[in-house]
Amino acid sequence: MTGWLLWSIVIGAYAFKALGTAFGSRITPGQAWSRAIRLLPLGMLCALITVQTLATGQSIHPDARLAGVAVGGALAWRRAHIIWVMIAAATVTSLVRLL
Amino acid sequence: MTTNESSAADPDGPAPGAIDVQRRRIIGAGMALGLAVGVLGVAFGVLAATAGLPVWQAVTLSAGAFTGASQFAAVSVLASGGSGGAALGVALLLAARNGVYALSVSGLFAGLGWRRWLAAHLVIDESTAMANAHRSPRLSLTAFLATGLSVLIFWNVGTLIGATLGTHLGQVTTFGLDAAFPAAFISLLREGVDTPDGRRVAVVAVVLTLASIPLLPPGLPVLTGGLGAMAAWALTARRSPTDNATHTTEGIER
């Protein structure tokens, strides 16, 4: 990896975080915006869950991950501890892959 | 926002002992997430080594960029013979979502002064999800910092191990770890999705993401899904009669 590429990724990645922090700090709780902004992580993480569970590159490709996330998600819904949720999801996925 | 959760998590409400128990539980969950990310860090280190990156470059990425998806994508592009420009493009697209997280999470940094710029470095999927799972700003900040620091440390130790042993370790399979993270995020979103607003945002986000995965390059579907769901909520909420009520409770809570 060339030096310019390495440092462009490092600086670029931090720049996004810093920009979000700079703009986010200006939003005061009273503003109409603030409630929409509070729902933002929920939407982003639901989108992320979808991608991590179903996407392979640019195609939707249900595989062993879906089984693991389904079992982990069911446990999460029944308020199991996050550690058990992760262990169950990983175990089921690796077992399905072994089959 | 469930009232029983917000009062239970209110920093001025319950006895100090209850807060300590909650704190310990939060830090435990943060450590668990960090450990899992550490295993993934070993996998990243091995990938970096096989792609020909020296150890210092792999660790510089993990400590300096500190955004797993971008790092995996950039190194994979190089390993498969792609150009530096393509690697940078996909890395930045995937890193952009941290900026969106920061918009929301940075509300917790108010009391940190200049150190908010250090806290900003910890804005990633795991720390945002943990912060978002708590209503009280103080517990949210604890969850954010504990998870961010734990993931930063484990991710880098993992990278160092993987990059150093690299070729000796051979092929590291991720043991279904790729499914552990989405499941963990479901666990952290459980309370948020259990509100009418949360349900609407969640459903729209999933549908928009599914629609954009085949159409857009990796990195963008998460942004279009998340931002699109928020925009759809904001546009429809303006006409909803319950909007005023939710606004006032939110003002008090903060």
Q: What interface predicted TM-score (ipTM) does this complex get?
A: 0.92
Q: How many of the other CB atoms lie within 10 Å of CB of B170?
A: 9
- Residue B253: partners with Cβ closer than 8 Å, 6 or more residues away: B1, B6, B135
* B229-241 pLDDT, tens digit each: 999 998 887 655 4
* Residues in chain B closer than 8 A to A29 (CB atoms): 107, 250-251, 254
* A42-72 pLDDT, tens digit each: 999 999 999 999 999 899 989 999 999 999 9
Q: What is the pLDDT of residue A37?
A: 85
Residue from the list A1, A44, A49 with its beta carbon closest to the beta carbon of B186: A49
Which of the residues B103, B193, B233 would you substitute to probe the A interface, choosing the one with the greatest number of A C-beta atoms within 10 Å? B103
Q: What is the mean pLDDT of chain B?
A: 86
pTM score, whole prediction: 0.83
Q: What is the pLDDT of residue B172?
A: 55
Q: What is the pLDDT of residue A55?
A: 93
Residue ranges in chain B whose pLDDT is less than 70: 1-16, 167, 169-174, 238-254
Q: What percent of chain B has pLDDT over 70?
A: 84
Contact B180 A14 (CB under 8 A): no
- For residue A90, is pLDDT > 50? yes
Q: What is the pLDDT of residue B82?
A: 86
Contact A91 B176 (CB under 8 A): yes
Q: Which of B116, B103, B122 is nearest to A24 (CA)?
A: B103
Q: Which of B175, B39, B72, B208 is nearest to A64 (CA)?
A: B175
Q: What is the pLDDT of residue B14?
A: 58
Q: Region of B170 please: left (phi>0), alpha (psi -120 to 50) or beta.
A: left
Contact A89 B233 (CB under 8 A): no
- B244 burial via Cβ count (<10 Å: 0-12, 13-18, 19+): exposed
Alpha-carbon distance of B77 to B53, in angstroms, equals: 13
* B151-169 pLDDT, tens digit each: 999 999 999 999 999 867 6
Q: What is the pLDDT of residue B173?
A: 57
CB-CB contact of B76 with B106 (8 Å): no
Contact B184 A10 (CB under 8 A): no
